[in-house]
Amino acid sequence: MNTLTEERTSAQGRGRFRSAARRTPGRPSIVCGAALLLALAGAAVLGPLLWPYDHVAQDRTAMLVPPGGEHWLGTSRLGEDLLAQCLQGLRKSLVIGLLVAVLSTTLSAAVGLAAGYLGRWVDRCLMWGVDMLLILPPFLVAAVLSPLLRERSWLYMVLVLALFQWMLTARVVRARTVALRQREFVTAAHHMGAPTLWIMRRHLLPHLVPLLVIDCTLHVGAAILGEAGLSYFGFGIQPPDVSLGTLVATGSGSALTYPWAFLAPVGFLVVTVSAVGLLGEGLRRALEEGRGGSNED
Amino acid sequence: MTSLSPPRAAGVRAVAAPSGPPAGAAGRLLRRLAWRLGLCLAATFTAYVLASISFDPLAELRGQQPPPPQAVIDAQAQRLGLDDPVPQRFLGWLAGVPHGDFGETVTGQEIGDELWRRCGTSVRLFLAGSLLAIVLGVAIGLWNALRDGRPSDRMSLFASLIILAVPVFVLGTVLKMLWLPLNEAAGTQLLYFSAETTPGADHTGWAAIGDRLRHLALPTLAIALPQAAFYSRYQRAAMLDVLGSDFLRAARAKGLRHRQAVLRHGVRIALIPMVTLFAFTFGLHLTGGVFTERVFGWNGMGDWLLRGIQDEDANIVASVTLFIAVLVVLAGMLADGVLALLDPRIRRAGP
């Protein structure tokens, strides 16, 4: 009996996932978003290897050169090649975005499942924490902690960003879990003596995977923007490291006079984040249609 | 449960129904108020503790050349209360708050005096921006839902994706860049790029209001656009949910025209998840206000927060956090009130 329930639920979860996946490739927003992201990621990985200029090399004979010619995107105030800088910055921003998204989605799944399934005081405590963290803007916390993080690796910043970005998803996961908990297959598994962690992992989590995938995508964009905000005010990535945020910060001082130094990193930032958004939106719609409007869960 | 969209509104809706023993409407409101005040204090405490751990206000003194005598450093540490444990410092700070005493900055100025001035600046800016954003976001979202899949819907979806991908500090600068040619074409400053009023100008009456509005326009737009894009997406999803619902079909079946049914029954229900969404994300949107103040040179709370962090000043951080927390709590109370207006179930019984 136990295995039967398991098989049914996991097959159900997989089946829905598969039906969404079947619909996925054809959607223009998913194709566009994924293609753009792949192109950007490829450029970020390969670009610095292929492009002749180094992102820290300063050419004092070519300062503030407008775009075109030798330097495709122009040069900065110190004569650094902007394309090389942007590619390097994009690399860092993408890595930060991915790491933060994976960490914060994992955290929100764990907290949401625990609060929704265990209920009672666990639920109350966790949701109280969530509500409190929702009051504290993540930017504030990360900026306040910046004097501590300044001397350390940027991985600590990833940790801080992840620790303050999971709350909304956790709330949605909790609400979903509360609804799932009352379904027969969960009750059955519980009465057959399945351990709590097993129920969470094998019976509840499969139903949440699509939601988590979508939110993970959206978290990538939010993390890239969050990092850019911190770095813009000098609380994030420290020189000589560059990220898109530090480049925007450097360029914005002269945005009205030498706009290319500002617009180049902004372009990369906006295209990256909107590609992520496009992908997330497409996935969400694919999932909705995959359900065919049924009232399931 | 209804369909997935809007992804967050689903969670938010479930939260809107408070659990616990049944009580009168007044009791419920009081309980929620107490809960929220507790959250306020906890958030401020967290910020204060994090700031105290992270900041080292004596670093600057220690780094001076020639080095100041140890007695000077000790005196400064004593003045800032750095010898006491952090919770005790927090309680000392908190004890002053009800009397309007928010402590001193690192440089020895009273925080209380400056706080009220900066409060006013921030509230003026953020209130105008948020109101505009809510009106725009709800209107665009509803319109898009009614025009589901048509070119106008796709266009605004695309536009909102782009706007949400632009950080607020970039948006402010871009707005300046876009407006600059217009200012130059007009030969005068039609709209100003920085500060709250023209420094030195002594306007009165309408001229003063006009001057303020011309300063307010661009930063308000910078605050409003991302929020409007955000709200419109969720409003669209919420309205689509309602359009496919049984009760709307029932309203049509009893003989209402489509327009009547949508306006009289649909919109009200579609607004309910938005109200809770507003309460939940209000704190996140405040960050946009911080950036905007910096970009446009407004001396508000956001600007102060950034300055406080740069000066490593825990008292300023705590004061600004308390301000943010109070705003979030007020937004939550407002949302409760509006929910009661929109949803008769909440108004009548109280769960």
Task: Inform me whether the pLDDT recorded for A97 exceeds 70.
Answer: yes
Lowest mean pLDDT among A1-5, A23-27, A113-117, B211-215: A1-5
Please count the CA atoms within 13 angstroms of the CA of A11 that sit on its side-chain side: 6
Q: Output the pLDDT for position A72.
A: 67
Residue A21: C-alpha distances to residues A16, A37, A282, B30, B75 (Å):
8, 19, 11, 48, 66
Please name the residues between 138 and 177 in chain B that touch chain A, using a CB distance below 8 Å.
157, 161-162, 164-170, 173-174, 176-177
Interchain proximity A147–B162, CB inside 8 Å:
no
Check: CB of residue A61 under 8 Å from CB of residue A94.
no
- Checking if the pLDDT of A235 tops 90, the result is no
User: How many Cβ atoms sit within 10 Å of the Cβ of residue A41?
Assistant: 17
Q: How far apart are CA A143 and CA A139, in angstroms?
A: 6
Summarize pLDDT for B116-164 with one digit per residue, the tens: 888 888 888 888 888 999 999 999 998 888 888 788 888 888 888 888 8
| CB nearest B284 (choices: A137, A272, A293) | A137
**Mean pLDDT over each residue of chain A, to the nearest integer:** 79
Give the residue, B19 or A184, on which the prediction is more confident: A184
Could you tell me the residue ranges of all domains in chain A?
2-60+70-296
Q: Enumerate residues 6+ apart whose C-beta is below 8 A from B246.
A: none
Chain A residues within 8 A of B86 when measuring between CB atoms: none
Question: Which of A211, A256, A295 shows the shortest C-beta gap to B7?
Answer: A211
- A180 to chain B: nearest residue by CA? B1
Question: How far is Cα B68 from Cα B75, in angstroms, rounded to an integer?
Answer: 11
A180 has a pLDDT exceeding 50 = yes
pLDDT by residue (tens digit) across B88-108?
788 877 887 777 777 777 777
Residue B258: the pLDDT is 80
Q: What is the ipTM of this complex?
A: 0.77
CA distance A179 to chain B (A): 8
> Which residue stretches of B296-313 are H helix?
301-310
> CA nearest A217: which of A126, A283, A155, A296?
A283
Tell me whether residues A255 and B165 touch, CB distance under 8 A.
no
* Domain A2-60+70-296 part of CATH 1.10.10.10: no
Torsion of the alpha carbons at B158, B159, B161 and B164, rounded to the nearest 10: 180
Query: Residue B244: which pLDDT band, with cuts at 50, 70 and 90?
Result: confident
Q: How many residues does chain A have?
A: 297
The reported pLDDT for the residue numbered B14 is: 41
A253 pLDDT more than 90: no
- Chain B positions touching A262 (Cβ under 8 A) are 173
A68 Rama class: left (phi>0) / alpha (psi -120 to 50) / beta: left
Q: Do A229 and B167 touch (CB under 8 A)?
A: yes
For residue A203, give the DSSP letter.
Answer: I
Residue percentage of chain B with pLDDT more than 90:
3
C-beta atoms of B321 and A136 within 8 A: yes
The answer to whether A77 and A64 are in contact (CB under 8 A) is: yes
User: Each residue of A133-142: pLDDT tens digit?
Assistant: 888 888 888 8
Q: Which of A131, A174, A271 sits opposite B39 (nearest CB)?
A: A131
Q: Is the peptide bond before B6 cis (omega within 30 degrees of 0)?
A: yes
Coil, strand, or helix at residue A81? strand
**Which of B143, B203, B41, B65 minimizes the C-alpha distance to A135?**
B41
Residue by residue, DSSP assigns A20-73 as HHHHTTT-HHHHHHHHHHHHHHHHHHHHHHHSSS-SS---TTS-SPPSBTTBTT
Distances (CA, A) of A78 to A55, A86, A113, A261: 11, 15, 51, 11
State residue A242's pLDDT score: 83
- Alpha-carbon Rg for chain B, nearest whole angstrom, is 24
Cβ of B161 within 8 Å of Cβ of A228? The answer is no
Contact residues, chain B, for A274 at CB < 8 Å: 161-162, 164-165
For residue B164, the chain A residues in CB contact (below 8 A) are 221, 273-274, 277
pLDDT at B111 over 90: no
The Cα B63–Cα B51 span in angstroms is 20
Contact A228 B167 (CB under 8 A): yes
List Cβ neighbours of B227 (8 Å cut-off, separation of 6 or more). Answer: B129, B130, B133, B134, B137, B285, B288
Task: Give chain A's end-to-end CA distance (angstroms, integer).
Answer: 23
Does the beta carbon of B178 lie under 8 angstroms from any beta carbon of chain A? no
The span from the CA of B152 to the CA of B144, in Å, is 7
